[in-house]
Structure 1
Amino acid sequence: MDFKWIPNALTIARCAFAGLVIWGIWNAELSGVAAGAVTPDMPPEDLLRHTVMQQLWYQFALLGFLSGALTDFLDGYLARKLKAQSRFGVWLDPIADKLLVGAALLGLAMVLKTWLIYLPAAAIIGRDVFMTWLRTTPAGKAVVDPSNLAKWKTGFEMAAIIGLMLPLAFAPADMAADASGATPLVFVIGSYMLVGLLWVAAALSLITGWRYIRATRR
């Protein structure tokens, strides 16, 4: 039986998982205070129901992202194992990666609402959109520019995104606060470290993008 279709199917699935990530975060936001679903005079049982639903939607989004990341590993591994490399897979694979990361970054920006997320997210997404276009041009198609920096960039992106999504999925706001209502120092330090990773990923995105542009001019 021919299983060479599986790598491309996994790549297409990653595009679908990107949609599930943004859908999960959108529904989580609709269940919260900002959307008016939660009000101060709401009965405790209704408040608990909305809190649980919001957390479940965040868990859904996190599961979608982790599943998409897993397909990123599996499609490449199986393509080599089954000798099933195809032009379609080579074209779609980087697009699926960028859709998954872009969906997660847009979702985090929607939730966290701070320029500390807006700026690196915009840099990464803007760079990815530009690079996708550049690779369709004759000059871009001719460039082969493997780089360890790109692998580091991907690693920092994944670590930052997963780290920022985990508290949304598993640590409700009332659990992340002490008796006085203040956020413990460990949560604050951890959050800034994860945001720092995202900024490093954004910087590496711009650097690798510039290197690719220079390579097209040689």
Structure 2
Amino acid sequence: MTFKWLPNALTIARCVFALLCLGGIVQALKVQDLIMIVPEDAVSAVQERRIAIQQLWYQFALLAFLSGALTDFLDGWLARKLNAQSRFGVWLDPIADKFLVGFALLGLALIFHTWLIYIPAAAIIARDAFMTWLRTTPAGKAVVDPSNLAKWKTACEMAAIIGLMLPLAAIPQSAVTQDATGGHLAELAAVLLVGLLWIAAGLSLLTGWRYMVAAGRSRKS
């Protein structure tokens, strides 16, 4: 029995995990709306249950994102192991990557409501959309290959996304840290993670520009 279909199946699964990640965040935010209806001083069993359900949705979203990231490693490894490279897989793999990152960034933007997330998320998503189009052009097909900068960009955005989602999955969103030291550490971690996201955005724009220049040179030659 041949298992050469597995790499493509994992790539398709990554698209599904991307949708599940965004869906989990949307569901958590719907529960947040219900939590906000009740005054903060009116803590009840129902309210505590809603908070627990919200945290479960965030855990679901994080697990979906991590599962999608795992398929990114496994599909390439299996394709090499099984010698199962295909045109469909080569076409879909980068699109699935962009779905996973893009939907997670959209979810984070919905959660935090700040330009500190909006701007880098928009830059990354716009660059990924541009790269998807570039891969369809003859010049783009000739020059679009993973570079070290692109790999650093991926590592930064993955670390930032996981780091920003992890506290939501580990701690109820409505919980307020009473310890001042813990609060300062949380603020420092948030600054570092947002900074990492901005670095990823900068690398996204830089690599997009480099690919565009290389495609222009390829078209002229």
**TM-score when normalising by structure 1:** 0.94
Number of the residue aligned with 1:118? 118
Number of the residue aligned with 2:6? 6
Structure 2: which 5+ runs fail to align?
none
Equivalent residue letter for 2:64? G
Number of the residue aligned with 2:212? 213
Deviation at 1:81, TM superposition (A): 0.4
Equivalent residue letter for 1:209? G
CA distance in 2, matches of 1:199, 1:60: 26
CA distance in 2, matches of 1:114, 1:30: 19
CA distance in 2, matches of 1:62, 1:192: 20
1:4 alignment partner, SS class: coil
Equivalent residue letter for 2:8? N
* 1:18-45 CA-partner distances (Å, limit 9, x unpaired): 0000000000000014x66642175511
User: 1:156–1:197: 8 Å Cα contact kept in structure 2?
Assistant: yes
* 1:154-173 CA-partner distances (Å, limit 9, x unpaired): 00011000000000000124
Change (3 A) 1:175 1:31: closer
Higher mean displacement: 16-25 or 39-48:
39-48
User: 2:24–2:57: 8 Å Cα contact kept in structure 1?
Assistant: yes
Change (3 A) 1:196 1:142: same
1:40-59 → structure 2 map (5 Å cutoff): 40=39, 44-59=44-59
Change (3 A) 1:151 1:176: farther
Number of the residue aligned with 2:99? 99
CA distance in 2, matches of 1:129, 1:96: 12
1:65-76 → structure 2 map (5 Å cutoff): 65-76=65-76
Aligned length: 216
**TM-score when normalising by structure 2:** 0.93
Change (3 A) 1:5 1:65: same
CA distance in 2, matches of 1:162, 1:101: 11
Number of the residue aligned with 1:138? 138
Asked if 1:170 is matched to 2:173, the reply is: no
Deviation at 1:145, TM superposition (A): 3.6
CA distance in 2, matches of 1:112, 1:80: 40
CA distance in 1, matches of 2:79, 2:114: 40
Structure 1: which 5+ runs fail to align?
none
1:165-204 → structure 2 map (5 Å cutoff): 165-173=165-173, 175-178=175-178, 184-204=183-203
Number of the residue aligned with 1:152? 152
User: 1:127–1:206: 8 Å Cα contact kept in structure 2?
Assistant: yes
CA distance in 1, matches of 2:206, 2:15: 26
User: 2:35–2:47: 8 Å Cα contact kept in structure 1?
Assistant: no
Tell me the C-alpha RMSD between the 2 structures. Answer: 1.7
Greater helix share, structure number: 2
